[in-house]
Chain A
């Protein structure tokens, strides 16, 4: 096959560009340690969230030194719990699921952004630093009230954080 020299040079440069892109992703995944949302969150019967002790009462739990788990239900057209309160300088793993349709779980202004699929549990681990209030929104169309679906993530100073305060009355 007859390929012009300029074309050969272009071909080589294109391949280098492609390999470069793949390398940046691999670098992000390994050296920086950005994990993808994957299949480890497990499955759940979406019609029976009430019977699941994690999601019957959506809440934040402490699971270790500076480590927290947040069980979140995204449903038409709210997030529960709301707000989600976590202490500063901690690692938070969100477990999010839906009893109805697909939703999105986006902490605005951060890269915490994942899909929520009924029947599946989305597991997403984030590091939170300074005390700050973040908006949470649903970024997957979920019905006529989709644009009203929002929540809040409040990162409170470590000394002001009290677990379960917002959950038991």
Chain B
């Protein structure tokens, strides 16, 4: 327990009790979404592998929508706003300007989430016409209930107001400290939120201008390629929105836990500026095999995507260097011998390190996806979920859980219920994800599709180049089960921590970087400049493709009617389908 010796320093709760309450509320919202998402995840893992089918296969897609939205919208973003509120208040060392305003945006995000979740779960209740079986990507002309789009819009507005809250704090601080550089955590929060403002232009236009009025029946046609492209305008930068909280933790918290200091503050700033600039003009790499988009636009997106590797590669260096510094501070020596001087028994440290290790693997499978022509082999196969369960599903999720083990005592003045359970939890996650993601990647190479309730077909079998498909299915199911157990251990551990005695003086100050901000040019802190360049890059990357898509299909694509996604009509559509199938089969019989 040496890492958590009482320092006598005040915690975040001691200094900012009002803000700590908001942070706790945001994190609890995040953990509730995580727990629910994990239940749906388990159902899916067992269903698609045919290990245990508790639900009807048409309901699989309701479960899948809920899993996706709860995990990558609610879990990650609620955690983000909680963490960013903590980081803003901590690094500027001042409370928010109006706690009522802060609760307002939190309330909007909760309201938006509830609306979307009601719309999604309505899919289980055939008696209502509420449903949203459109998956996380909600591609038109599949149509969800207006409640779903409305909920998303309100949620995003909540995040915008949260960003304004951080900017407000920064401006108030800057007015009092005109000559000071922005503190590192504050800088990371602000650049990430500016990136979010650029990114959400796409989703805001798609939802507010097209999908919401269309679902309300104000017009009945839509250009599916346009809304899909606008989705991916937002859909790629959002992955960095998930990732940046993890990066913030790796840069500013991990070095302290490792017993050392961040290697370089300036490089950290450069990395976040690069993400602000490059996150958005890459979304078309999700559309490499789409019709209606010229090869040139795809090539530009591919090139930008590859350069987006740079900030992550730089991060790998800085994080490992900082951890090594920590190990040597703790007495570690040798070329690799320093590794054993690290606090591996601390679940916060080990969780973040295991997350980083898996992120390296996820980064490499991402480079495959980014390779335009090799992507043909893996597009929309289960390889892709295999990839993003390593990135958002481990690099982000495991880092956030591990960091909670460190952060939670700072917000509650209570120790964690059990550090050994915490350590077991992060190791179980690592092993579970190792199995599940490995099976997914391999199945993907055999052509097995993602987002499919029963990946077993009548006319053909998948050919496994080694082992067998059923063995991979079993591996996937075991991995998914371990991940579910790990999630439950995490949430229970945090919940039980409320029962441990209140302590005082357990604050953990963060260490200062080795190379401080004074080593970096002031232009790095010119956020207006970077925001401006980011907007220009987005215009350059998207103006022509969007103009071309609108030119081809119109703003409201002619001849594309809405297809409401509700469970009941499925039975109705299967019948004509069978009829058509019979006709098709009949036509080949001479």
Q: Are chains A and B touching directly in their complex (CB below 8 angstroms)?
A: yes
Q: Is the CB of A28 within 8 A of B459?
A: no
Closest to B455 in A: A147
Instruction: Report if A36-B372 is in contact (Cβ < 8 Å); known contacts: A18-B306, A109-B447.
Output: yes
Q: Does A87 contact B (CB under 8 A)?
A: no
Q: Is the CB of A10 within 8 A of B289?
A: no
Closest to B557 in A: A119
Closest to A110 in B: B447
User: Which A138-159 residues sit within 8 Å CB-CB of chain B?
Assistant: 138-148, 150-152
Q: Is the CB of B371 within 8 A of A24?
A: yes
User: Which A73-98 residues sit within 8 Å CB-CB of chain B?
Assistant: 75-78, 80-83
User: Which A5-62 residues sit within 8 Å CB-CB of chain B?
Assistant: 6-7, 10-11, 14-15, 17-18, 21-22, 24-25, 28-29, 32, 34-39, 41, 43-48
A76, A117, A118, A144 interface centre (most CB from chain B within 10 Å): A144
Closest to B514 in A: A4
Instruction: Report if A47-B559 is in contact (Cβ < 8 Å); known contacts: A80-B584, A135-B457, A147-B455.
Output: yes
Q: Does A68 contact B (CB under 8 A)?
A: no
Distance A80 CA – B289 CA, assembled complex (angstroms): 21
Question: Contact check: which of A4, A34, A108, A117 meets B460 at CB < 8 Å?
Answer: A108
Q: Does B157 contact A (CB under 8 A)?
A: no
Q: Is the CB of A34 within 8 A of B293?
A: no
Distance A111 CA – B372 CA, assembled complex (angstroms): 12
Q: Is the CB of B552 within 8 A of A143?
A: no
Q: Does A133 contact B (CB under 8 A)?
A: yes
Contacts of B570 in A (CB 8 A): 143-145
Closest to B523 in A: A1
Contacts of A39 in B (CB 8 A): 291-294, 548, 552
Q: Is the CB of B590 within 8 A of A2?
A: no
Closest to A45 in B: B559
Q: Does B184 contact A (CB under 8 A)?
A: no
Q: Does B587 contact A (CB under 8 A)?
A: yes
Distance A35 CA – B289 CA, assembled complex (angstroms): 10
Q: Does A121 contact B (CB under 8 A)?
A: yes
Q: Is the CB of A34 within 8 A of B559?
A: no
Instruction: Report if A150-B370 is in contact (Cβ < 8 Å); known contacts: A34-B376, A120-B553, A144-B570.
Output: no
Distance A137 CA – B291 CA, assembled complex (angstroms): 18
Question: Contact check: which of A3, A18, A115 meets B307 at CB < 8 Å?
Answer: A18
Instruction: Report if A34-B264 is in contact (Cβ < 8 Å); known contacts: A6-B321, A104-B380.
Output: no
Distance A38 CA – B225 CA, assembled complex (angstroms): 13
Q: Does B181 contact A (CB under 8 A)?
A: no
Question: Contact check: which of B288, B577, B588 meets A145 at CB < 8 Å?
Answer: B577
Q: Is the CB of B287 within 8 A of A3?
A: no
Q: Is the CB of B560 within 8 A of A7?
A: no
Q: Does B219 contact A (CB under 8 A)?
A: no
Q: Is the CB of B380 within 8 A of A140?
A: yes
Instruction: Report if A147-B454 is in contact (Cβ < 8 Å); known contacts: A1-B520, A25-B372.
Output: yes
Q: A55 CB to closest chain B CB, in angstroms?
A: 13
Q: Mark B367-379, 1 if CB is under 8 A from A, else 0.
A: 1001111101101
Q: Is the CB of A43 within 8 A of B553?
A: yes
Closest to A124 in B: B289
Q: Does B539 contact A (CB under 8 A)?
A: no
Contacts of A11 in B (CB 8 A): 314
Question: Contact check: which of A24, A102, A108 meets B228 at CB < 8 Å?
Answer: A102
Q: Does B135 contact A (CB under 8 A)?
A: yes
Question: Contact check: which of B371, B453, B552 meets A25 at CB < 8 Å?
Answer: B371
Closest to B60 in A: A147
Contacts of B58 in A (CB 8 A): 144-145
Q: Mark B493-522, 1 if CB is under 8 A from A, else 0.
A: 000000000000000000000010001110
Contacts of B393 in A (CB 8 A): none
Q: Does B156 contact A (CB under 8 A)?
A: no
Q: Does B361 contact A (CB under 8 A)?
A: no
Distance A17 CA – B515 CA, assembled complex (angstroms): 26
Instruction: Report if A144-B459 is in contact (Cβ < 8 Å); known contacts: A76-B573, A165-B590.
Output: no
Q: Does B309 contact A (CB under 8 A)?
A: yes
Q: Is the CB of B560 within 8 A of A36?
A: no
Of the candidate stretches B234-242, B335-343, B415-423, B561-569, the one touching chain A is B561-569
Knowing that A36-B289, A148-B454 touch, tell me 11 more A-B residue pairs with CB under 8 angstroms: A29-B299, A43-B292, A81-B584, A110-B447, A111-B377, A117-B224, A138-B449, A141-B451, A144-B58, A146-B453, A150-B458
Sample (7) of A-B pairs whose CB atoms are under 8 Å apart: A7-B314, A7-B318, A47-B561, A102-B139, A102-B224, A117-B225, A139-B379
